[in-house]
Structure 1
Amino acid sequence: MAKEIDPHASMAALFGSRVRRLRIAAGLTQAELGEKAYVVGSRITQIERASGARPTLELARALDEALGADDLLVDLWPYVYREAFPDWSRAFIAHSERAVSIREYAAHVVPGLLQTEEYARAVLSLDVMLSGEEQLEERVAARLGRQDRLRSPDRPELWVVLDEAVLRRPVGGWAVMRGQLAGLLDAAAEPHITVQVLPFDEGGHGAMGGSLTVLTLPDGTDVAYTEGADYGQLIEEPTEVERYADIYDRLRAAALPPLMSLDMIRSVLEGNRGASVPSRSQRRRLAHKQLQQSSGWQLRRGGRRLPRPRPRP
């Protein structure tokens, strides 16, 4: 009899152990389960032994249905998928899923939390390490799944600063890009999401090496994450995090005010690729005007809107 794998060894091992127990309880052989899940029996053997390729989300759903697991395997799948990422990436994803505030500067592409399905597929398909269509769809599903938190009761405040290059680069072609720009406008209409654009004429800045994210966790502590084309770094040391938070605050201050940013996104969407950017003095005047008009709200550093206290009668 084959030795049962230790379910504590990894998330893939835990997933395989659960599949094996459910299969035995259902009185099925590996071949029979494979037939029900539309895969060969040897694939079930790989899953139960945590060997070979990790199961896709589609396969996890098929196994869940075949075994009557009541979404147990589907719920485990994101952890199995995430295990393929480096330690620092997994830690960042885990922090993101419980952050109360997410402040992000995007240098090259729209952040994953705001990507449309077509745009996400176009971005993820550029990975030279991609093994095939199945892995691409798996990654797209995982990325879109993480967006669910923006619609949940414990949704975080999301403040995104987009480099102007993000708007100008037609990832996936202009049809895909137009859908993405429209998606940004829709997202920015939500009260917990703010989008700004950092125009080219602002010149150099402290985050030019790549994208930057600052997360505020439920206990009030912050962590930072920087990412380039082929690297990522999670920063947790308080002094270093404070330095990156300051860099982000400068980017946010230099970016176009939110309403002007949306006007620029709308202009690019409408096909005006050469849309002019207002001068800095015009921006300052408009920003001052918007602040005067935005009665009833004030901003704190983390981007969360807090109601101003009303004067007592």
Structure 2
Amino acid sequence: MGYRKNTTCWLLGAVMPNIRKLDPTTSPMHHLGAELRRYREAAGLTQDQLGGKVYCTGSLIGQYETARKIPTQRFTMQLDDTLGTGGALLRLLEMALCFRVPLQDQQYADLEAEATQAYFFEPGVVNGLLQTKDYVRAVVGVLDKENVDSRLAHRMDRQRVLLRTPPLLLWVILGEAALHQEVGGLEVMRTQLAHLLTFRDQDWVNIQVLPYAAGAHVGFQGAFTVFRFRNGPDLGFNEDYEAGYLTANPQDVTVRTLRYAHLQAAALSIHESADLIARVMEDRYGTQT
């Protein structure tokens, strides 16, 4: 079918939220949306009418048809049964889920905003949603000195997901190296670690530290994330040197979920982690404030 690499609307439709005509060659998920719309119209149903038959809103059907959301396998089976497609939509979904999708910064921010839960493993750096401004400035300016202020503003804007109602349920496992790697100088690190400690009593932000003493662990392949949504399948995300990639493949997401569970078991408890953060802040970066 020759899908192009430009998959900017594959998940949330952030670039073209009001798209009326899908190009099925844009991405596998666009192809699924286009086929869903074709089957619905062939059945003589409006989006609201189809939604009524499968117990959802017409608006949600529209989001699936425009590739703004990913339907679950169970829901796709309902659509197949209702529209009499012979399982065609489920086969398209299974094919689409096998693709790894590159994401740009804004698309990643949209993903965080859409998620209800996020589970991060960061072996060597403080997670972006927990970074202070000075820490962000030091990180984003390492390789690229241009547009630092705008990139800083974008990073800080992402943190609004922790202030919304209800907030994003956030779980972060940091490698102990993230506490010791001096980013931006002693004062920046002292302030950054103090900022981490402000979350110690917040139910929706949970921070664990994977200590050096844990030895060999399942996170040696690098940082990764698992996102969960109210009306959609879990998604996995990981980065390499060039880009970040999203996957909805159930097997890939299951592997990441299992790996995360092992890391949680190997990490210090939330309270022990806070104690370690406080010790490093005092011993390595000066007196606690």
**In the alignment, what sits opposite 2:58?**
none
* C-alpha contact (below 8 Å) 2:103/2:243 kept by paired residues: no
SS at match of 1:214: strand
- For residues 210 and 242 of structure 2, the distance between their equivalents in structure 1, rounded to whole angstroms, comes to 23
Aligned-residue offset at 1:261: 0.5
Q: Is the 8 A contact 1:114 1:187 kept in 2?
A: no
1:63-115 superposed Cα distances (whole Å, 9 cap, x missing partner): xxxxxxxxxxxxxxxxxxxxxxx942354332211111111111111011000
Distance apart, 1:184 and its partner CA = 0.2
For 1:237, the equivalent position in structure 2 comes to 249
CA apart distance, 1:168: 0.7
Separation in 2, partners of 1:11, 1:231: 18
- Which of residues 117, 132, 139 in structure 2 aligns to 1:123? 139
Q: TM-score, normalised by structure 1?
A: 0.56
Q: Which runs of 5+ in 2 are unaligned?
A: 1-13, 17-100
The answer as to whether partners of 1:119 and 1:172 remain within 8 angstroms in 2 is yes
Which amino acid in structure 2 is aligned with residue 99 of structure 1? Answer: A
1:226 equivalent in alignment to 2:226: no
2:198 counterpart SS class: helix
Task: Give the structure, 1 or 2, with the largest relative contact order (CA under 8 Å, sep 6 or more).
Answer: 2
For residue 271 of structure 1, report the CA deviation from its aligned partner. Answer: 1.7
Give the Cα–Cα distance (whole angstroms) in 2 for the partners of residues 194 and 233 of structure 1: 24
Rounded Cα–Cα distance in structure 2 between residues aligned with 1:206 and 1:180: 27
Q: 2:184 matched to which residue of 1?
A: 172
What is the aligned-residue RMSD (CA, Å)?
2.2
1:88 maps to 2:82: no
Deviation at 1:11, TM superposition (A): 5.7
2:145 maps to 1:103: no
Cα 1:177–1:272 shift into 2, 3 Å: closer
TM-score between the two structures when normalised by the length of structure 2: 0.61
The match for 2:258 is 246
Q: 1:201 to 1:112 in 2, by over 3 A?
A: same
SS in 2 for 1:161: strand
Counterpart Cα distance in 2 of 1:204 and 1:192: 29
Q: Report the 3-state secondary structure (helix = DSSP H, G, I; strand = E; otherwise coil) of the residue aligned with 2:283.
A: coil
The share of aligned pairs that are identical, in percent, is 34
Deviations 1:121-143 (A, max 9, x none): 001111x2x252xx100000001
What is the Cα deviation at residue 228 of structure 1?
3.8
* Deviation (angstroms), 1:220: 5.3
Q: How does 1:73-84 map to 2 (within 5 A)?
A: none
Corresponding residue number in structure 1 for 2:271: 259
Equivalent in the alignment of 2:208: 196
Instruction: Work out whether 1:137 is the aligned partner of 2:149.
Output: yes
Shift in CA distance, 142/92, structure 1 to aligned 2, threshold 3 Å: closer
Q: Counterpart amino acid of 1:114?
A: L
Aligned residues: 188
Task: Call closer, same or farther: CA 1:109–1:120 in 2, change over 3 Å.
Answer: same
